[in-house]
Homo-oligomer: A and B are copies of this chain.
Amino acid sequence: MPIPTNQPGQNRCVIERVTPELDAGRYAIKATVGDVISVEADVFADGHDKISARLLYRPESAADWLEVPMNPIENDRYGASFLIEKEGFYRYTFVAWVDHPLTWQHEITLKIRDGQRVEVELLSGALFFDEMATLALPDDARALQAAAKLFRDKRGYEHALHLATGPDVKAWIARYPLRHHATRYDRELAVYVDRERARFGAWYSLFPRSTHPEPGQHGTFRTTAALLPRLADMGFDVLYIPPIHHIGTAFRKGKNNAVTAQPGEPGVPYGIGSELGGHDAIHPDLGTLEEFKALVEESQTFGIEVALDLAIQCSPDHPWVRDHPDWFRLRPDGTIQYAENPPKKYQDIYPLNFETDDWRNLWEELKRVLLLWGAWGVRIIRVDNPHTKAFGFWEWVIAEVKAEYPDMLFLSEAFTRPKVMQQLAKLGFSQSYTYFAWRETKAGLTQYLTELTQGEMRHYFRPNFWPNTHDILTWPMQSGSEALYLSRFFMAATLSSNYGIYGPVYEYLEHTGIPGKEEYFNSEKYEIRHWNWQHVNKLTYVIGLVNKARRENSALQHTNNITFCDIANDHLLAYLKTHADGNRILCVVNLDPAQTQAGQVRVPFDKIGKGPDEEYLVRDLLTDAAYVWRGETNFIALDPHVLPMHLFRVEDLYR
Contacts from A to B (Cβ < 8 Å): 8-12, 14, 16-17, 23-24, 42, 44, 46-48, 75-76, 98, 106-108, 110-111, 113-114, 116, 120, 123-124, 126-127, 180-181, 331-333, 335, 340-343, 354-357, 359-360, 363, 387-392, 417-420, 423
Contacts and interface: CB of A to CB of B under 8 A. Distances in A.
Contacts of A335: 120
B332 A127 contact: yes
13 contacts: A9-B359, A10-B357, A11-B392, A12-B354, A12-B392, A17-B23, A46-B391, A47-B388, A47-B389, A98-B355, A107-B342, A120-B335, A127-B332
A166 B47 CA distance: 66
Contacts of A359: 9-10
B355 A10 contact: yes
Nearest to A351: B47
B46 A388 contact: yes
Contact of A107 (B107, B340, B356, B391): B340
Contacts of A9: 359-360, 363, 392
A48 B48 CA distance: 56
Given A10-B354, A12-B391, A48-B341, 14 more contacts: A9-B360, A9-B363, A9-B392, A10-B356, A10-B357, A23-B24, A46-B354, A46-B391, A76-B419, A110-B342, A110-B343, A123-B331, A124-B332, A126-B332
B110 A390 contact: no
A333 B120 contact: yes
A111 B343 contact: yes
State how many copies of this chain the complex holds: 2
A34 to B, nearest CB: 31
Given A110-B342, A420-B44, A124 B331 contact: yes
A98 B390 CA distance: 11
A13 to B, nearest CB: 9
A84 B354 CA distance: 39
B14 A423 contact: yes
A351 to B, nearest CB: 8
A48 B23 CA distance: 25
Given A111-B342, A331-B120, A332-B124, A387 B75 contact: no
A396 to B, nearest CB: 9
A468 B392 CA distance: 57
A356 B181 CA distance: 10
A103 to B, nearest CB: 10
Nearest to A387: B46
Contact of A332 (B108, B123, B356, B392): B123
A360 B116 CA distance: 36
Contacts of A356: 10
Contacts of A355: 10, 12, 98, 180-181
Nearest to A152: B332
Contacts of A114: 342-343
A124 B356 CA distance: 17
Nearest to A181: B355
A419 B42 contact: yes
A132 B418 CA distance: 34
A529 B363 CA distance: 81
A389 B46 CA distance: 6
Nearest to A112: B343
Contact of A417 (B76, B391, B420): B76
Contacts of A110: 342-343
Nearest to A424: B46
Contact of A387 (B23, B47, B123): B47
A120 B329 CA distance: 13
Nearest to A362: B9
Contacts of A98: 355
Contacts of A423: 14, 44
A227 to B, nearest CB: 36
Nearest to A331: B120
A343 B118 CA distance: 11
A420 B48 CA distance: 11
Contact of A391 (B14, B48, B354, B420): B14
B75 A418 contact: yes
Contacts of A106: 342
A327 B8 CA distance: 17
A391 B343 CA distance: 61
A120 B14 CA distance: 61
A352 to B, nearest CB: 11
Contacts of A127: 332
A113 B331 CA distance: 21
A48 B388 contact: yes
Contacts of A44: 417, 419-420, 423
Contacts of A116: 343
Contacts of A341: 48
Nearest to A343: B114
A331 B104 CA distance: 12
A14 B423 CA distance: 9
A388 to B, nearest CB: 4
Nearest to A186: B26
Contacts of A24: 23-24
* 8 residue pairs, one from A and one from B, having the closest CB atoms: A114-B343, A123-B332, A24-B24, A110-B342, A107-B342, A47-B388, A76-B419, A9-B359
A540 to B, nearest CB: 39
A18 to B, nearest CB: 10
A418 B17 CA distance: 14
Given A127-B332, A391-B14, A113 B343 contact: yes
A23 B25 CA distance: 11
A39 to B, nearest CB: 17
A390 B343 contact: no
A17 to B, nearest CB: 8
